[in-house]
Homo-oligomer: A and B are copies of this chain.
Amino acid sequence: MKPAEYIQTNKQRFLEELFGLIRIPSISSESSHKQDMVKAAEYLRDQILKAGADRAQVMPTEGNPVVYAEKIIDPAKKTVLVYGHYDVMPVDPLELWKTQPFEPQIIGDRLYARGANDDKGQSFMHVKAFEYLVRENLLPCNVKFMLEGEEEIGSPSLEKWCADNKAMLKADVILVSDTSMIAPDTPSITVGLRGLSYVEVSVTGPNKDLHSGIFGGAVANPANVLAKLIADLIDENGHIAIPGFYDDVVEISADERAAMAQAPFNEQEYKKALDIEEVSGEKGFTTLERTGIRPSLDVNGMWSGYTGEGAKTVLPSVARAKISMRLVPNQNWEKIADQIRDFLVARAPKSVKIEVKKLHGGSAYGADLKSEAYRAAEEAYMEVYGKKPIPTRSGGSIPIIAVFEKVLGIKSLLMGFGLEADAIHSPNESYLLENFYRGIETITSFYLHYGK
Binding site for B on A (CB under 8 A): 28-31, 89-90, 92-93, 96, 152-154, 180, 194, 196, 198, 200, 205-221, 223-224, 226-228, 230-234, 274-282, 287, 290-291, 294-316, 319-322, 324, 326, 349-352, 359-360, 394-397, 420, 423-428
Give the distance to chain B from A213, nearest Cβ to Cβ, in Å: 3
Question: Are B301 and A316 in touch, CB under 8 angstroms?
Answer: yes
Question: Are B29 and A206 in touch, CB under 8 angstroms?
Answer: no
Contacts of A298 in B (CB 8 A): 212, 216-217, 221, 223-224, 315
Contacts of A210 in B (CB 8 A): 274, 425-426
User: How many Å lie between the Cα of A233 and that of B218 in the bound state?
Assistant: 16
Known contacts A213-B394, A234-B224; A314 and B287 CB within 8 A of each other: no
Find the B residue at minimum CB distance from A208.
Answer: B426
Give the distance to chain B from A134, nearest Cβ to Cβ, in Å: 34
Give the distance to chain B from A401, nearest Cβ to Cβ, in Å: 13
- CB-CB nearest 6 A-B residue pairs: A217-B296, A213-B396, A29-B310, A231-B231, A223-B299, A227-B230
Ordered by A's residue number, 10 sampled pairs between the chains whose C-beta atoms are within 8 Å are A29-B312, A31-B309, A198-B313, A215-B291, A218-B291, A227-B228, A279-B351, A300-B311, A307-B322, A312-B322
User: How many Å lie between the Cα of A297 and that of B224 in the bound state?
Assistant: 9
Known contacts A198-B311, A223-B302, A302-B223; A216 and B296 CB within 8 A of each other: yes
Give the distance to chain B from A86, nearest Cβ to Cβ, in Å: 17
Find the B residue at minimum CB distance from A199.
Answer: B311
Pick the contact of A299 from B214, B224, B324 — CB < 8 Å? B224
Contacts of A424 in B (CB 8 A): 211
User: How many Å lie between the Cα of A142 and that of B328 in the bound state?
Assistant: 78
Question: Are A217 and B326 in touch, CB under 8 angstroms?
Answer: yes
Contacts of A428 in B (CB 8 A): 208
Pick the contact of A302 from B232, B287, B291, B319 — CB < 8 Å? B319
The winner among A205, A351, A420, A425 for most chain B CB atoms within 10 A is: A425
Question: Are A212 and B274 in touch, CB under 8 angstroms?
Answer: no
Give the distance to chain B from A273, nearest Cβ to Cβ, in Å: 8
Question: Are A92 and B308 in touch, CB under 8 angstroms?
Answer: yes
Contacts of A228 in B (CB 8 A): 227, 230-231
Contacts of A274 in B (CB 8 A): 205-208, 210, 215, 219
User: How many Å lie between the Cα of A282 and that of B218 in the bound state?
Assistant: 8
Known contacts A310-B30, A312-B322, A326-B212; A290 and B194 CB within 8 A of each other: no
Contacts of A198 in B (CB 8 A): 311, 313
Find the B residue at minimum CB distance from A213.
Answer: B396
Question: Are A227 and B218 in touch, CB under 8 angstroms?
Answer: no
User: How many Å lie between the Cα of A209 and that of B324 in the bound state?
Assistant: 15
Question: Are A306 and B214 in touch, CB under 8 angstroms?
Answer: no
Contacts of A209 in B (CB 8 A): 93, 425-427
User: How many Å lie between the Cα of A296 and that of B212 in the bound state?
Assistant: 9
Pick the contact of A218 from B212, B230, B279, B425 — CB < 8 Å? B279
Question: Are A217 and B282 in touch, CB under 8 angstroms?
Answer: yes
Contacts of A215 in B (CB 8 A): 274, 291, 395
Known A223-B299, A224-B233, A278-B350; further 19 A-B contacts with Cβ < 8 A: A90-B308, A92-B306, A205-B276, A206-B274, A208-B274, A209-B425, A210-B274, A211-B426, A212-B300, A213-B326, A217-B297, A219-B274, A220-B279, A224-B297, A227-B227, A276-B352, A301-B312, A302-B307, A314-B425
Pick the contact of A322 from B227, B306, B352, B423 — CB < 8 Å? B306
Give the distance to chain B from A444, nearest Cβ to Cβ, in Å: 27
Question: Are B299 and A302 in touch, CB under 8 angstroms?
Answer: no
